[in-house]
Amino acid sequence: MKHMEMAPTGKVGNDLCMHAMGDTTRMPGLVDPAKLAAFVDPLPIPTVLRPEPGKLLTVRMAASQQKLHRDLPPTELWTYNGSYPGPTIEARSGQAFDVSWDNGLPTKHFLPVDHNICGAEADKPLVRAITHLHGAKVPRKDDGYPEDWYVPGKSRRHHYPNAQDAATLWYHDHAMGINRLNMYAGLMGLYLLRDEHELSLGLPSGDFELPLVIADRWLRDDGRLYYPDSGDATAPWVPEVFGNLTLVNGAILPRADVQPRRYRLRVVNAANGRFYHLRFKDGRPFQVIGSDQGLLAAPATMRAIFLAPGERADIVVDFAPLRGGTVELMNDALPLMRFAVGQGAVQDDSRVPDVLRDLPRVTEASASKTREMTLDEYSDCVATPMLMLLNGKRWHDPVTETIKIGSTEMWNLVNLTEDTHPVHLHLVRFQILDRRPYDVDEYMEKKTIRYVGLAQLPPPHERGWKDVVQSYPGMVTRIVATFDGYAGRYAWHCHLAEHEANEMMRPFEVVA
């Protein structure tokens, strides 16, 4: 398709859109965030499950009621083990176990299923689920492949080898065609993988390590979740969802009472579509010690971090200078939560070493194969208002990426759209080589890349192992991954859940 057919769509998933949608948007019948008392609810901390090696852990998906703010009625959510976020699963590297993911959901969906979306056709059951452990290197049958969904009343057992480095992983629904709805309904939780090396570093731990699962939602005045639709009941899919309320661990504008000392924050951007530009209101610096796939080589001192859906940040912040004071965690100019720092004297034995781990940078030369992968956006006013594709192909088109197991490949993500897309690969970790501006129009015409600027190295906080990369518009983003571990068919996709659904997701096949 030619450039002219590209949709002149609204900005999706970037600052422009966040501001255009506005965080104070008030629609009739929806909760107005300005009317909610701030920092009155304590920051919820999900229950921690520590499975014993070799044992079976059972986690059950079910509808449940949960208060998201003191002054709001309870909200129906779909959760793992009755809470949003679900329980935090703590695992140790090298200690395998199995989880039985039981589907105890209702048989009717309470959010607008679009039967035009691939995998959600009218002949499919309305409610289906499959849990993907994001960032885990697992056999194909245990990955949570989108087509491995099952219906209420059924369960599926996944084996987690945990044969990888310590990292902030998270689990969430991945059912073909409806996972954007299932995730929005609440089906997600943290999975912290720890290893001996990380535990030896002396980082803040125990009560001084806080998970922060951040995601936006709309709520109706009666407390029910509102998921926007196109206005066409036969094709309700929308290309983006930006709620006006932000939940941190399931609470709107919560407060964490902390001590004047260092804390480790395990941050997940669990939103369907919103990017978060996180900073502290007073501009205080913090140390980023890890990214998606674990520790960086060295801490990166920052005052703000931009996280796309699916991305994680492992952060250490020192509240000692704030004894007796408060500080808000912000998304740009909007507060997300408050830290209220106690008065008492505390002894802080934690530390952040200057060297966190041995982490060699991968090189271009290590790749035995290079693939050019385009990110495309098409206007198709017949079926749907817009369509996002990878390599111009749909999910059901034949597999084009057949990869020899153990081989190292460089994927050049050629973004032809006007938006940033967070690209996630299942199974593997990768490093970002660089991003470089190129002539988009010339590529459309001749399919050749002409660079129009210098290659930009990723900033320090993106130089670790990653499993989501922000592919910027007008840039070629180069990543290098080694496809080791397991053979089989896995998925790669945009982590904007609405894009992924239509149809910014493709299979790749690892072969022996």
Q: Which positions lie near Cu ion, rule CB under 5 A?
A: 421, 494, 496, 499
Nearer to Cu ion, 377 or 462 (CB): 377
How does DSSP assign 178-209, residue by residue?
Answer: THHHHHHHT-EEEEEEE-HHHHTT----GGGE
Question: Can you tell me the distance from the alpha carbon of 250 to that of 66, in angstroms, rounded to the nearest whole number?
Answer: 9
Looking at residue 220, the DSSP 8-state letter turns out to be B
Nearest to 103 by CA among 151, 160, 173, 140: 151
Q: Which is nearer to Cu ion, 267 or 375 (CB)?
A: 375
Minimum gap (Å) between residue 345 Cβ and Cu ion: 49
- How far is it, in rounded angstroms, from Cα 5 to Cα 376? 11
Amino acid at 344: G
CB of 394 to Cu ion, least distance (A): 15
Instruction: Return the CA Rg of the chain.
Output: 22
Nearest distance in Å: CB 184, Cu ion: 16
CA–CA gap between residue 276 and residue 209 (Å, rounded): 21
Q: How far apart are CA 78 and CA 102, in angstroms?
A: 13
Question: Quick one: 12 or 298, whose CB is closer to Cu ion?
Answer: 12
Query: Does residue 85 have a cis bond before it (omega within 30 degrees)?
Result: yes
Pairing of the two strands 97-104 and 131-134: unpaired
Structure tokens at 106: 């209702």
Q: Quick one: 264 or 421, whose CB is closer to Cu ion?
A: 421
3-class state of residue 78 by DSSP: strand
Closer residue to Cu ion, CB minimum distance, 102 or 418: 418
Q: Which is nearer to Cu ion, 169 or 496 (CB)?
A: 496
Task: State the Cα–Cα distance between residues 306 and 276, nearest whole angstrom.
Answer: 6
Residue 28, Cβ neighbours under 10 Å: how many? 5
Tokens linked to 151: 């219906």
Residue 29: how many other CB atoms lie within 10 Å: 10
CB of 454 to Cu ion, least distance (A): 26
Nearer to Cu ion, 41 or 503 (CB): 503
Nearer to Cu ion, 18 or 59 (CB): 18
- For the CB of residue 493, give the shortest distance to Cu ion in the complex, in Å: 8
Residue 212 sits at φ, ψ, to 5 deg, of -130, 100
CB nearer to Cu ion: give 180 or 429. 180
CB of 504 to Cu ion, least distance (A): 5
- Closer of 180 and 357 to Cu ion (Cβ): 180
**What is the CB neighbour count within 10 angstroms for residue 349?**
9
CB atoms within 10 A of CB 363: 12
Taking the complex as a whole, how short is the minimal distance between the CB of residue 266 and Cu ion, in angstroms? 25
| Calpha distance 239→11 (Å, rounded) | 10
Tell me the closest approach of the beta carbon of residue 434 to Cu ion, in angstroms: 21
Q: Which is nearer to Cu ion, 256 or 386 (CB)?
A: 386
Quote the longest CA-to-CA distance of the chain.
Answer: 66
> At closest approach, how far in Å is the CB of 146 from Cu ion?
16
CB 180 within 8 A of CB 498: yes
Strand ranges of the sheet holding 167-173, from the earlier edge strand across to the other edge: 48-49, 88-92, 188-194, 167-173, 131-134
Cα angle, residue 381 at apex, residues 11 and 376 outer, rounded to 5°: 50
CA distance 184 to 245: 13
In the numeric block, the tokens 């290079």 are attached to: 370
Question: Nearer to Cu ion by C-beta: 14 or 93?
Answer: 14
What is the number of other CB atoms lying within 10 angstroms of the CB of residue 443? 18
